[in-house]
Amino acid sequence: MNGQAIFRAICSSFKAGKSPVQCTEGYDMQSAVGHLSDFSAPQSLKQKNRMLKFCVVFIIILNLTAFYLYRRYQRRAMKGQVQSQVQMHVA
């Protein structure tokens, strides 16, 4: 649905003779409200959104990498402890 269809549907819900001035045939909605291009997001806002998405993805990847490295460190430390205990009990 577009704005024009919604506007017409709203105007058709009024009783005959009781509709507001905005619902008359000669009323130019764009002159009162503005053109569609006035409501589009500026380019800088789109770039900010893109940068925000990039930062979120980067932080998620960074956290996953840190978690993976920490788990790898823990496994190696645990393996070293087990080997040292085995060596101590064997000797």
> What confidence tens digit (pLDDT) does each residue in 47-71 have?
888 999 999 999 999 999 999 999 9
In angstroms, what CA-CA distances link 3 with 7, 24, 30, 63, 91?
Answer: 6, 16, 11, 44, 84
The model's pTM: 0.47
What's the average model confidence in pLDDT over 19-26?
Answer: 78
pLDDT tens digits for range 73-88: 999 999 999 999 998 8
Q: Residues 59, 67: contact at Cβ < 8 Å?
A: no
